[in-house]
Structure 1
Amino acid sequence: MERIRDLSSKKAAVIFTKSSCCMCHSIKTLFYELGASPAIHELDKDPEGREMERALRALGSSNPAVPAVFVGGRYIGSAKDIISFHVDGSLKQMLKDAKAIWL
């Protein structure tokens, strides 16, 4: 859990993913299209990935635990949540408030 906290606070936007996850790819693409440059942590390529995945589930991440998105050091949700925030316009504001984007 501490590693998740540490990694999620190092950059304004952080996404925990798996390289084979299509929804992870979609969420990363959305962030890039919004002008953000999130830190990406692929759990399947990290030696502590399984432990981190358990920690993400403990935070309330759905099953599967990825993508798990943090903005401003705060867990904001998984793919379903991020899409909802994008549709209602609040994702862009969250990214602005966290200084992940400027426009």
Structure 2
Amino acid sequence: MMQELSLECFSNDVVRLDLTPPSQTSPTSLSIDEEESSEAKIRRLISEHPVIIFSRSSCCMSHVMKRLLTTIGVVPTVIELDDHEVSSLPMALEEEFSGGVLPSPAIFIGRECVGGIESLVALHLSGHLVPKLVQVGALWV
């Protein structure tokens, strides 16, 4: 069973999901297959979004990541995971992240796991973040 969710972005970095079925599918709709496993959802979301952050709902570091990226001009997709979904993250991403324990929040740019907040900031300070974002089509300069 497929359910369409409408995603609205506001200027103050707030994203609202509208669970009522839209009259037509808009380009910002998210399709969720209720039969899909957490691991499959995570893999699909990574492949569909050039910049995506996976976080626990209680994590404040995802806000820091999002703020850095929006300052540069990129609006990342942020997925807040439930505890049982967070436990699926390492299994789903074994091949993508070889650094041992997957950080929370974890950011993916162009289907590649960058790591956590420290890795993102290091990438930015080294001058490699903007070219990487341009390369994956998340930023136009």
- Which TM-score band applies after superposition, normalised by the shorter structure? 0.7 to 0.9
Map of 1:88 onto structure 2: 126
Higher strand proportion = 2
Deviation string 1:7-57 (CA, Å, 9 cap, x unpaired) is: 11111111111232122110111111111111110013xx85233344367
Deviation string 1:50-98 (CA, Å, 9 cap, x unpaired) is: 3334436743467573111111111111111101001111111111100
Length-normalised TM-score, structure 2: 0.61
- What amino acid sits opposite 2:49 in the alignment? K
Q: How many residues align?
A: 101
| 8 Å Cα contact 1:8/1:70 also seen in 2 | yes
| 8 Å Cα contact 2:61/2:117 also seen in 1 | yes
The separation in 2 between residues aligned to 1:102 and 1:90, in whole angstroms, is 15
The separation in 1 between residues aligned to 2:99 and 2:53, in whole angstroms, is 12
Backbone CA RMSD of aligned residues: 2.3
Which has the higher Rg, Structure 1 or Structure 2?
2
Aligned-residue sequence identity (percent) comes to 30
The structure with higher relative contact order (CA 8 Å, sep 6+) is 1
**Per the alignment, do residues 50 and 11 of structure 1 end up closer, same or farther by CA in structure 2, a change over 3 Å counting?**
closer
**1:52 maps to which of 88, 100, 109:** 88
User: SS of 2:52's equivalent?
Assistant: strand
Length-normalised TM-score, structure 1: 0.81
